[in-house]
Amino acid sequence: MLNTEIANILIAKFGTESFKIYCIMEAEKNSLLAIDEKNRFPDEPTEYDYDASWWANKYTELMNQENH
């Protein structure tokens, strides 16, 4: 399942305000996992950076929509 699909389901189920909190927490979780994986496997690529960025960007997108 793609992040976009997950986002749409969570927004529908829990609402935008709760989803914003989730986005920040998911971004932080993936950042922590990326750091850990880079420390343990420095020569291996990680997808956690991408996910951390995706969720942080989704939060920013929602905040920008709120301010317009």
DSSP class of residue 11 equals H
Q: Please give the model's pTM, rounded to 2 decimal places.
A: 0.89
C-alpha pair distances (Å), 57 with each of 1, 11, 24: 18, 15, 9
CA atoms within 13 Å, Cβ hemisphere of 53: 6
Q: Which residue has the tokens 């909190």?
A: 21
- Residue 48: its pLDDT value, please? 96
Indicate the residue type of 11: I
- Residue 52: its pLDDT value, please? 97
Q: What are the pLDDT tens digits along the chain (68 aa)?
A: 999 999 999 999 999 999 999 999 999 999 999 999 999 999 988 899 999 999 999 999 999 998 87
